[in-house]
């Protein structure tokens, strides 16, 4: 995976709000089976995710909620 790309196909999405000291489950969009998650550099909390159904989703709040693109 390249810089800013996170996640493992078929696994749960985790997030850290304290620089990686602790981790918690985050909401997964769409089918929940994520293929790729991309953090957008320079846009704090902005994520774009591709699910196994080929649908794109965006979050502006570090994966608390998602919107279909």
Give the mean pLDDT per block of 10 residues along the chain (69 residues): 48 82 87 85 90 92 93
Q: Of 53, 3, 49, which Cα lies nearest the Cα of 28?
A: 49
Q: Give the global pTM.
A: 0.74
Q: Which residues does residue 12 pair with via DSSP β-bridges, in sequence order?
A: none
* Rg of the Cα atoms in the chain: 11
Q: Which residues are CB-contacts of 53 (< 8 A; sequence separation ≥ 6)?
A: 30, 31, 33
């Amino acid at each position: 995976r390249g810089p800013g790309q996170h996640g493992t196909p078929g696994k749960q999405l985790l997030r850290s709000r304290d620089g990686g000291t602790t981790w918690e489950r985050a909401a997964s969009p769409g089918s929940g089976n994520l293929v790729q998650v991309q953090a957008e550099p320079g846009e704090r909390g902005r994520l774009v995710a591709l699910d196994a159904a080929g649908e794109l989703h965006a979050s502006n709040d570090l994966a608390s909620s998602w919107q279909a693109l």
